[in-house]
């Protein structure tokens, strides 16, 4: 299917690179078996470190080679005109499975071979906001929120809700997640932008397809040592936390709102019952937003950080479309289309992320 896979045109280059990595791994293995290397602790440490870094890509290369051989063998079997129809059907199913395993191995290899960003291992904040489309946009924002939580859990990452402004029927006007764990920012960095949904809302009696949007901003957490915030520049307010519709869910002043006076940035956190925990979460969010805004200024992209990530939320500004009637998800940045909407909304973003990493 067009757009499903875009590695073939540059296959020669990256496959040669992949094979070179596997050959280097074998060379390092032989070097480490050399008794002379054991007498040189510094060299031993260097070689072991390099070998460990490329071990995954090397092992995947040999798995890929085995899959290629199995595909060729199955294709030869299918070329036999005397093959029993039942065996032909089984062989055909096996060939499809082998091709899928090959594709996954190639996507994984491309991710391993791609140069790693230094910020990829940092914790990350993911901010989701309903865009154009009213209540339907808020419902879609809630689905994106669930998708990201499931994706993070599949990756073994820890998820904390920092802020959530819910609607009365299950939608989300805005939500902020803190995702912690090795590789957190690397997994989510490509989600920044406008996400568009096309579907028939439950409230639409005529069955017409509506288009709505939600915006996503993804920022690596900025550590305290990376940026200094003068306490005198902060106004901290406390209040009772509340749920959807404004009803009180806590009679103590545990919720925290922090305003950074020089920039006007406001962060609210009411997820925890402890005021101290809410304050700590809010400070982490504020520090990251300020750091990200300063980075945007240094790069002279635009003056305001969030606009550089998500635009205005208009329907024409989109990075990805989720089309329910066609069971289709299209990422417009790399031209990839996948017909497995439900699977992706259940947190299976690996194929999309792999394509974006290697584009």
| Confidence (pLDDT) at 299 | 55
| Residue 188 pLDDT exceeds 60 | yes
Q: Residue 336: pLDDT band by 50, 70, 90 thresholds?
A: very high
Q: What is the mean pLDDT of residues 300-310?
A: 49
- Tell me how far apart the alpha carbons of residues 310 and 194 are, in angstroms, rounded to a whole number: 6
First CA to last CA distance, the chain: 18
Share of the chain above pLDDT 70, in %: 84
**Beta bridge mates, 217:** 127
Q: Residue 273: pLDDT band by 50, 70, 90 thresholds?
A: confident
Q: What is the mean pLDDT of residues 177-185?
A: 93
pLDDT digits (tens, 9 = 90+) for 206-223: 778 999 999 999 988 876
| Confidence (pLDDT) at 358 | 72
- Tell me how far apart the alpha carbons of residues 160 and 177 are, in angstroms, rounded to a whole number: 6
| Confidence (pLDDT) at 178 | 93
What DSSP line would sit under 178-242, residue for residue? Answer: EEESTTHHHHHGGG-EEEEEEE--TT-TT---EEEEEEEEEEEPPPTTT----GGGEEEEEE--B
- Residue ranges and CATH numbers for the domains of the chain are 8-113 (1.20.58), 124-221+303-357 (3.30.70.1660), 231-298 (3.30.160.20)
Q: Helix 41-78 to helix 11-32 angle, to the nearest 10 degrees?
A: 130
| Confidence (pLDDT) at 62 | 94
Strand order in the sheet with 255-260: 234-239, 255-260, 265-269
| Confidence (pLDDT) at 26 | 94
| CA 3, chain centre distance (Å) | 20
| Confidence (pLDDT) at 245 | 46
- Report the candidate in 41, 113, 36, 101 with the shortest Cα–Cα distance to residue 69: 101
Q: Residue 118: pLDDT band by 50, 70, 90 thresholds?
A: confident
Lowest mean pLDDT among 172-176, 201-205, 306-310: 306-310
| Residue 348 pLDDT exceeds 70 | yes
Quote the mean pLDDT of the chain.
84
| Confidence (pLDDT) at 116 | 67
Secondary element (H or E) of residue 174: strand 172-180
Lowest mean pLDDT among 6-10, 115-119, 290-294: 6-10
Q: Residue 303: pLDDT band by 50, 70, 90 thresholds?
A: very low
| Residue 92 pLDDT exceeds 50 | yes
Q: What is the mean pLDDT of residues 22-30?
A: 93
| Confidence (pLDDT) at 321 | 97
Q: Dihedral sign, CA of 278, 280, 285, 289?
A: positive
Is 67 or 288 the better-scoring residue by pLDDT?
Answer: 67
Q: Residue 4: pLDDT band by 50, 70, 90 thresholds?
A: very low
| Residue 159 pLDDT exceeds 50 | yes
Q: Residue 152: pLDDT band by 50, 70, 90 thresholds?
A: very high
Q: Which two tokens stand for residue 92?
A: 């055909």
| Confidence (pLDDT) at 263 | 87
Is 93 or 354 the better-scoring residue by pLDDT?
Answer: 93
| Confidence (pLDDT) at 112 | 80
| Confidence (pLDDT) at 185 | 93
pTM listed for this prediction: 0.57
Q: Residue 252: pLDDT band by 50, 70, 90 thresholds?
A: low
């Amino acid at each position: 299917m067009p757009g499903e896979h875009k590695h073939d045109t540059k296959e020669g280059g990256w496959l040669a690179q992949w094979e070179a990595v596997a050959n280097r791994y074998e060379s390092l293995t032989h070097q480490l078996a050399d008794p002379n290397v054991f007498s040189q602790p510094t060299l031993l440490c260097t070689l072991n470190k390099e070998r460990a870094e490329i071990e995954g890509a090397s092992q995947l290369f040999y798995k890929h080679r085995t899959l290629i051989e199995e595909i060729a063998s199955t294709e030869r079997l299918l070329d036999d005109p005397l093959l029993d129809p039942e065996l032909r059907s089984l062989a055909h199913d096996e060939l499809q499975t082998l091709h899928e395993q090959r594709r996954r191995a190639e996507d994984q290899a491309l991710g391993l071979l791609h140069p790693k960003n230094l910020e990829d291992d940092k914790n990350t904040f993911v901010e989701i906001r309903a865009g154009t489309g009213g209540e339907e946009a808020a419902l879609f924002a809630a689905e994106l929120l669930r998708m990201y939580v499931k994706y993070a859990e599949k990756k073994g990452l820890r998820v904390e809700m920092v802020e959530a402004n819910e609607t009365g029927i299950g939608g989300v006007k805005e939500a902020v997640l803190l995702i912690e764990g090795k590789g957190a920012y690397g997994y989510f960095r490509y989600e920044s932008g406008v996400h568009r949904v096309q579907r028939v809302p439950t409230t639409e009696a005529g069955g017409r397809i509506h288009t709505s949007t939600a915006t996503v901003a993804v920022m690596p957490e900025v550590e305290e040592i990376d940026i200094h915030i003068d306490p005198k520049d902060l106004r901290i307010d406390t209040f009772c936390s509340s749920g959807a519709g404004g009803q009180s869910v806590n009679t103590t002043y545990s919720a925290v709102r922090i305003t950074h006076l020089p920039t006007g940035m406001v962060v609210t956190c009411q997820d925890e019952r402890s005021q101290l925990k809410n304050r700590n979460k809010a400070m982490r969010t504020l520090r990251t937003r300020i750091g990200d805004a300063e980075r945007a200024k240094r790069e002279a992209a635009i003056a305001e950080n969030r606009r550089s990530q998500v635009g205005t939320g208009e329907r024409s500004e989109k990075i990805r479309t989720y089309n329910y009637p066609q069971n289709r998800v299209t990422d417009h940045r790399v031209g990839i289309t996948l017909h497995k909407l439900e699977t992706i909304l259940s947190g299976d973003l690996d194929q999309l992320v792999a394509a974006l990493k290697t584009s």
